Amino acid sequence: MKKILNTLVQAMGDQAIALGTVADNVTALKLRLAKQFPELADELKAQVQEEQAKSRAEVYELQVSLAKLREVIAGLPEPPAPRKRTASGKAGKAEAAPADKTA
């Protein structure tokens, strides 16, 4: 169970990194557009600054949340080892094999 939860937290972190990459690409595009269209430059640069400030706060919050999740997962008790099943399909102690009566 812990392994599954840790995998889930890791996937969330990986997804956040991927979204950050997309956001970086959008920012780069806006800055290129600002160079090509001087009449839009001030507006685009203001958008970029606002988005970067918001993104930094969100990324920090996400990192803190993921760290807390990892701590909680690490503190979970290990599940008990699964019990062996008998031939009848019931969990419990294995039954002794019947004695050979052919002798």
- Residue by residue, pLDDT tens for the chain (103 residues) are 889 999 999 999 999 999 999 999 999 999 999 999 999 999 999 999 999 999 989 999 999 999 999 999 999 888 777 777 766 666 555 455 555 555 5
pLDDT of residue 42: 93
pLDDT of residue 81: 74
Q: Side chain identity at 5, as an amino acid letter?
A: L
Q: Where are the domains of the chain?
A: 2-75
pLDDT of residue 84: 77
SS (H, E, C) the chain: CHHHHHHHHHHHHHHHHHHHHHHHHHHHHHHHHHHHCHHHHHHHHHHHHHHHHHHHHHHHHHHHHHHHHHHHHHHCCCCCCCCCECCCCCECCCCCCCCCCCC
The rounded distance, in Å, linking the Cα atoms of 103 and 84 is 32
What is the pTM assigned to this prediction? 0.63
